[in-house]
Structure 1
Amino acid sequence: MESWNRTSTDSVRTHTPDGVNRRIDARVEKCVQSMAEHMDRSVISTYLEKLEREWDLNRVVTVAASAVSVLGLVLASKDGPRWKIVSGVAAGLLLQHGLLGFGPLSELVRALGVRTRREIDLEKFALKALRGDFERIPHEGGPLARSNAALVAAQS
Structure 2
Amino acid sequence: MESWNQTSTDTVRSHVPEEVNKRIDEHVERCVRHMAQQERPEISRYLKKLEREWDLNRAVMVVGSLAAVLGLWLARRDGRGWQIFGGTAAGLLLQHGLFGFGPLAELVRAVGGVRTRREIDLEKFALKALRGDFERIPKNDGGPLARANAALVAAQS
Q: TM-score range by the shorter chain?
A: over 0.9
AA of the residue aligned to 2:107: L
AA of the residue aligned to 1:144: L
Tell me whether 99-108 or 15-24 shows the greater mean CA deviation: 99-108
Question: Which residue does 2:143 correspond to in 1?
Answer: 142
Question: Which residue does 1:17 correspond to in 2?
Answer: 17
- How many Å apart are 1:42 and its aligned residue? 0.8
Q: Where does structure 1 differ by over 3 angstroms across 4 or more consecutive aligned residues? A: none
Percent identity of equivalent pairs: 74
- Secondary structure of the 2:35 match is helix
AA of the residue aligned to 1:95: L
For normalisation by structure 2, the TM-score amounts to 0.95
1:71 equivalent to 2:65? Answer: no
1:44 equivalent to 2:49? Answer: no
Instruction: State the distance in 1 between where 2:142 and 2:37 align.
Output: 11
Question: Which residue does 2:79 correspond to in 1?
Answer: 80
Question: Which residue does 1:111 correspond to in 2?
Answer: 110
In structure 1, the gaps of 5 or more residues are none
In structure 2, the gaps of 5 or more residues are none
AA of the residue aligned to 1:143: P
AA of the residue aligned to 1:131: R
Instruction: State the distance in 2 between where 1:2 and 1:101 align.
Output: 27
- How many Å apart are 1:77 and its aligned residue? 1.6
Q: Deviation per CA, 1:99-119: give whole Å up to 9, x if none.
A: 222211111111121111100
- How many Å apart are 1:78 and its aligned residue? 1.6
Instruction: State the distance in 1 between where 2:153 and 2:41 align.
Output: 23
- How many Å apart are 1:80 and its aligned residue? 2.1
- Secondary structure of the 2:142 match is coil
For normalisation by structure 1, the TM-score amounts to 0.95
Instruction: State the distance in 1 between where 2:36 and 2:125 align.
Output: 13
AA of the residue aligned to 1:148: N
Instruction: State the distance in 2 between where 1:127 and 1:95 align.
Output: 35
Question: Which residue does 2:100 correspond to in 1?
Answer: 101
Instruction: State the distance in 1 between where 2:125 and 2:18 align.
Output: 23
